Structure 1
Amino acid sequence: MEIKIKGTEEFIKLGQVLKACGLVGSGVEAKEVIQDGLVKVNGEVDTRRGKKLYDGDTVEYEGQTIEIKK
């Protein structure tokens, strides 16, 4: 799966990625799964919902891998 960073933005936040890909239904759900350590960024567990993701980063959650593209 792939998600593009919009327009002139340099990054997208981790919680936004999970919502945009339909892997969670709300920001609250995104916050919970991230804080519970269920999400990996570039192969490492990251518990920050506001983690900034840039072109080339990857997110893993529930067997899905999402690539961040500019």
Structure 2
Amino acid sequence: MKETVLIDKEYITLGQLLKHVNIISSGGVAKHFLAENTVLLDNELENRRGKKIFPGSIVEIPGEGTYIIQHESSEDISEETR
């Protein structure tokens, strides 16, 4: 499932994204989640919870979904937008 995630700032961290899309319940769980699960940022393995993710990036989490990061003012808004 692909989902567009709109952000209103310059970037979102990977830990913030995981919490925003309800994969983790709190930021403190991010480090453990990333140690135990595969997360791809623009097709590259990523495990740093503080990694900055900018609009245009794609985060893939096998078994969870694919998240396309867009700036809130983007014209490209779909029904799956959060």
Q: Indicate the TM-score class for this superposition, using the shorter chain for normalisation.
A: 0.7 to 0.9
Over 6 Å off, 4+ runs? none
Distance 1:43 1:63 in 2: 15
TM-score by length of 1: 0.83
* Higher-Rg member (1/2): 2
The answer to whether the aligner puts 1:24 opposite 2:24 as a matched pair is yes
- Please give the TM-score of this superposition, normalised by the length of structure 2: 0.73
Cα displacement string for residues 35-64 of structure 1 (whole angstroms, at most 9, x for unaligned residues): 335211111111110100111101111340
Which fold has the larger relative contact order, with Cα–Cα distance below 8 Å and residues 6 or more apart in sequence? 2
Identity percentage of aligned residues: 35
Stretches of structure 1 lacking an aligned partner (at least 5 in a row): none
Length, aligned pairs only: 68
DSSP-derived class of the 1:10 partner: coil
Gaps of 5+ in 2: 72-82
